[in-house]
Amino acid sequence: MNNKAILIISILLISSLALAGCMNENKVGEKRVIKDILGREVEIPKEVNRIVCIGPGCLRLIVYLNATDKVVGVESSEKLWTPYGRPYRLAHPELANLPIIGQGGPSPKPNIEKIIEVHPNVIFYTFATKDAADELQKKTGIPVVVLDYGVLGTFKNDKLYQSIRIAGKVLNKEDRAEEVINFIDKTLEDLNKRTMDINNKPSVYVGGVGYKGMRGIESTFSNFPPLMAINTKSVVDNEVSGYKWVSISKEKLLEWNPDYIFIDEGGFLLIKKIIKKIQISINL
């Protein structure tokens, strides 16, 4: 083979390697634009493999999508709070082993430095304002996608479904998002059919319902969604209209004298401690 042929082959090989390198670089740097729940257009990587979640219920939505393998950091509440009352944490105890990326709870405080340290591709943020989302995105240099699931505690609403679909699109989990939505719809339809024609339902009360933290037996909600799903009213619904948090007196509960009292698992430990104190004082 003469020198001219060797030179041509060498040039072709170098060109091919350079072209392949460019193609790989373009693939890594590929972006796409999605709209979050606020209508913000957010540019995100084509492949999202590392995420963090900020705000109430945010991580729960990601668990619904079977995407916990992509979570690289969690809020402090996932480590400090009891997992009882939060089935997603009971199902995934390994989440508590991840690095903390900020304060959780009803008033989250994301830690900019800690978030950057875990290198997420995307930050999911529930109930954030446009200004808060834009500011976090600017400070971290990481795309922030805002989610929302509407009225807290309800099962079926447009914002919940929209947020599930948005997160599914970001994580390339569109099929799973539709599975979750269909499951919710079919479950609610089944419960409605099985309970709609039942007469003479017992009177019930649900206490210990969480509201910006753990609460005692006085804490409840009118139009409590799990009861509404089975066409049942709480005794509180006779005096309070609409879906809202209510704190009643113990005397009022005695006056209502419901046939059944249900305790929200989130407040069970607190109520159990109070009962124990009462038992001790009675024994004394």
Give me the domains of the chain, ranges plus CATH numbers: 30-192 (3.40.50.1980), 204-283 (3.40.50.1980)
Tokens linked to 179 = 């599975």
pLDDT of residue 180: 95
Phi, psi for residue 72 in degrees, rounded to 5: -115, 0
pTM assigned to the model:
0.79
Distance of CA 122 to the CA centre of its chain: 15
Q: Residue 156 burial (CB < 10 Å; 0-12/13-18/19+)?
A: middle
**CA distances in angstroms from 145 to 4, 125, 134, listed in the order given:** 56, 6, 10
What pLDDT is attached to residue 14?
45
pLDDT in tens, 106-161: 788 999 999 999 999 999 999 999 999 999 999 999 999 999 987 655 666 789 99
Q: What is the pLDDT of residue 242?
A: 84
Nearest CA to 219 out of 244, 183, 186 is that of 244
The neighbouring-strand residues paired with 42 are 34
